[in-house]
């Protein structure tokens, strides 16, 4: 582990703990927390196509979500971590999981605020190898900076955002610092919608600039936003340029995120766009949009910007006894500065939770995931399936029986594998961690 990564990890942990302490001291904070331990078995710990190794796992972990919004600040934290012990020593013990936190604080009401964002998690060290403890690396993405707002009359205002970010990798040698700024002119169309003209730029400087080329991205776009009782929409349209080592690429940019409340219990979300992005952008976006914040993120760990085209659709049902999520996404990473890792990624997920009685509940998921590399002759099709049967033991404790199955079918025969897992898990939910307002 590099010195900078170790130092930044401690620093981010300290910042997160301080922010959590501030939020925890506010009487209206909503907290969802659970602590768990489990004992499990796998028939293919190394996810090998040839040599399968059975292993017993002992785990201990927690989920902690905190959210709070007042007149002075907005705070949100999602975190999920597990300590994994491999009883037969196939792998060393490890801490896996992730956290996404943000804090917005108004230094001057409606004029000046300061934001802090932190994303910590894991990615695949080798994108072509299966996800195992030997192929996960941790990374941090930390951002902070001010936003200034200057009203001009009742309907218009100028805005200026300035951000400094630091991204640190445990293994991959592409640690970098980045600065960005956005200048905007906003016009309030009505009580629900705002139209704005924007100029945004960012510069990325790598620690090892002699080996890795720094780059910058400039964007010029208009934005239309709606925030009404049933619709939340943000749409950007404009032009963008990317410059790396003196070579410039340019093209249109388009971003759309629209959430529509259909009924009090159902909603749909549509996303789409085309932009110049990098692996840091992709890591933060994928982690922030994932219901499982601790899931290992599939990014290639490249050091150059690329064209990212994407489409997504999601349908949510939150009924009294049943929750359903149907999620589909398509991503195309088109590298313009020499990398051969162009790829199409398609994901489809179904998750269902059902309360069977006051004490029993059941859940299941199906995850279909396909990666098709356009330059390299490689395609991976992954299938994951799982179920859980849960029983509440009193008010604070619950027990669950969990089964999981994983299968990869690849054009590279050595990458094929199947794995079956079974766990028994016990979870403790404290009184202060039941989505209640303190």
Per-residue pLDDT at 305:
87
Q: Among 130-139, 336-345, 377-386, which is the least confidently predicted range? A: 336-345
CATH of the domain at 250: 2.40.170
What is the helix (H) or strand (E) element at residue 7, kind and residue range? helix 3-24
- The percentage of residues in the chain with a pLDDT greater than 70, rounded to a whole number, is 92
Distance in angstroms (rounded) separating the CA atoms of residues 227 and 257: 12
Distance in angstroms (rounded) separating the CA atoms of residues 433 and 430: 5
pLDDT (tens digit, 9 = 90+) per residue, 174-190?
Answer: 899 999 999 999 999 99
Per-residue pLDDT at 120:
94
Per-residue pLDDT at 432:
80
Residue 1's pLDDT band, with cuts at 50, 70 and 90, is very low
Average pLDDT of 355-359? 94
Integer angstrom CA distances of residue 86 from 39, 41, 167: 10, 10, 30
* Number of compact structural domains in the chain: 1
Distance in angstroms (rounded) separating the CA atoms of residues 105 and 175: 28
Residue 5's pLDDT band, with cuts at 50, 70 and 90, is low
Q: Among 214-218, 269-273, 284-288, 302-306, which is the least confidently predicted range? A: 302-306
Average pLDDT of 355-364? 96
**Is residue 403 over pLDDT 80?**
yes
pLDDT (tens digit, 9 = 90+) per residue, 267-279?
Answer: 999 999 999 998 8
**Is residue 58 over pLDDT 90?**
yes
Distance in angstroms (rounded) separating the CA atoms of residues 5 and 375: 32
Average pLDDT of 79-84? 95
Q: Domain containing 25: what range?
A: 3-437
In whole numbers, what is the pLDDT of the chain averaged over residues?
Answer: 90
Average pLDDT of 19-24? 50
Q: Which two tokens stand for residue 409?
A: 């079918």
Longest dimension (CA), the chain: 71
Q: Among 11-20, 34-43, 67-76, 232-241, which is the least confidently predicted range? A: 11-20
pLDDT (tens digit, 9 = 90+) per residue, 406-417?
Answer: 999 999 999 999
Per-residue pLDDT at 339:
80
Per-residue pLDDT at 19:
55
- Closest residue by Cα to residue 175 from 151, 147, 141: 141
Buried b (16+ CB within 10 A) or exposed e, 166-177: bbbbbbbebbbe
Residue 438's pLDDT band, with cuts at 50, 70 and 90, is very low
Distance in angstroms (rounded) separating the CA atoms of residues 328 and 234: 20
Q: Among 29-38, 305-314, 334-343, which is the least confidently predicted range? A: 334-343
**Is residue 6 over pLDDT 70?**
no
Distance in angstroms (rounded) separating the CA atoms of residues 421 and 402: 8
**Is residue 243 over pLDDT 80?**
yes
pLDDT (tens digit, 9 = 90+) per residue, 23-46?
Answer: 444 456 889 999 999 999 999 999
Question: 8 or 45: which carries more pLDDT confidence?
Answer: 45
Residue 208's pLDDT band, with cuts at 50, 70 and 90, is confident
Per-residue pLDDT at 279:
87
Distance in angstroms (rounded) separating the CA atoms of residues 109 and 129: 50
- Closest residue by Cα to residue 44 from 138, 123, 131: 131
Residue 195's pLDDT band, with cuts at 50, 70 and 90, is very high
Per-residue pLDDT at 11:
54
The pTM (predicted TM-score) of the whole model is 0.90
Per-residue pLDDT at 245:
82
**Is residue 433 over pLDDT 80?**
no
Q: Which two tokens stand for residue 106?
A: 């108004």
pLDDT (tens digit, 9 = 90+) per residue, 248-257?
Answer: 999 999 999 9
pLDDT (tens digit, 9 = 90+) per residue, 111-161?
Answer: 999 999 999 999 988 888 999 999 999 999 999 999 999 999 999 999 999
Q: 330 with 312: CB under 8 angstroms? A: yes
**Is residue 3 over pLDDT 70?**
no
Distance in angstroms (rounded) separating the CA atoms of residues 283 and 300: 10
Question: 379 or 301: which carries more pLDDT confidence?
Answer: 379
């Amino acid at each position: 582990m590099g010195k900078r990564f170790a130092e930044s990890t401690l620093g981010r942990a300290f910042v997160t703990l301080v922010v959590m302490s501030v939020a925890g001291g506010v009487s209206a904070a909503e907290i969802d927390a659970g602590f768990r331990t489990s004992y499990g078995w796998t028939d293919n710990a190394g996810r090998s196509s040839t040599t399968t190794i059975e292993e017993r796992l002992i785990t201990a972990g927690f989920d902690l979500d905190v959210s709070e919004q007042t007149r002075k600040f907005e705070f949100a934290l999602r975190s999920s971590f597990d300590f994994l012990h491999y009883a037969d020593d196939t792998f060393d013990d490890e801490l896996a999981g992730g956290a996404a936190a943000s804090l917005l604080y108004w230094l001057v009401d409606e004029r000046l605020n300061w934001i802090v964002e932190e994303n910590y998690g894991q990615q695949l060290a080798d994108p072509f190898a299966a996800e195992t403890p030997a192929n996960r690396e941790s990374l941090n993405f930390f951002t902070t900076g001010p936003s200034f707002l200057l009203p001009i009359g009742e309907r218009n205002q100028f805005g200026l955002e300035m951000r400094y970010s630091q991204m640190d990798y445990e293994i991959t040698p592409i640690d970098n610092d980045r600065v960005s700024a956005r200048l905007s002119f906003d016009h309030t169309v009505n009580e629900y919608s705002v139209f704005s003209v924007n100029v945004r730029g960012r510069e990325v400087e790598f620690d090892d600039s002699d080996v890795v080329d720094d780059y910058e991205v400039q964007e010029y776009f208009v934005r239309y936003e709606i925030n009404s009782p049933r619709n939340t929409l943000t749409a950007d349209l404009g032009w963008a340029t990317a410059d790396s080592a003196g070579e410039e690429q340019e093209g249109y940019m388009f971003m759309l995120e629209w959430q529509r409340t259909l009924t009090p219990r159902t909603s749909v979300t549509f996303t789409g766009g085309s932009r110049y992005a990098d692996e840091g952008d992709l890591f933060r976006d994928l982690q922030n949009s994932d219901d499982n914040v601790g899931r290992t993120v599939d990014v290639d760990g490249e050091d150059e910007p690329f064209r990212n085209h994407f489409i997504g659709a999601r349908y949510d049902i939150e009924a009294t006894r049943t929750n359903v999520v149907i999620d589909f996404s398509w991503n195309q990473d088109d590298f313009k500065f020499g990398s051969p890792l162009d790829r199409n990624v398609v994901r489809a997920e179904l998750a269902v939770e059902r309360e069977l009685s006051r004490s029993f509940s059941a859940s299941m998921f199906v995850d279909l995931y396909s990666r098709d590399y356009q330059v390299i002759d490689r395609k991976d099709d992954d299938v994951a399936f799982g179920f859980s049967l849960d029983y509440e033991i009193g008010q604070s404790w619950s027990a669950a029986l969990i089964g999981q199955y994983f299968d990869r079918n690849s054009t590279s025969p050595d990458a094929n594998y199947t794995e079956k897992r079974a766990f028994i898990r016990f979870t403790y939910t404290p009184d202060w961690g039941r989505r209640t307002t303190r």
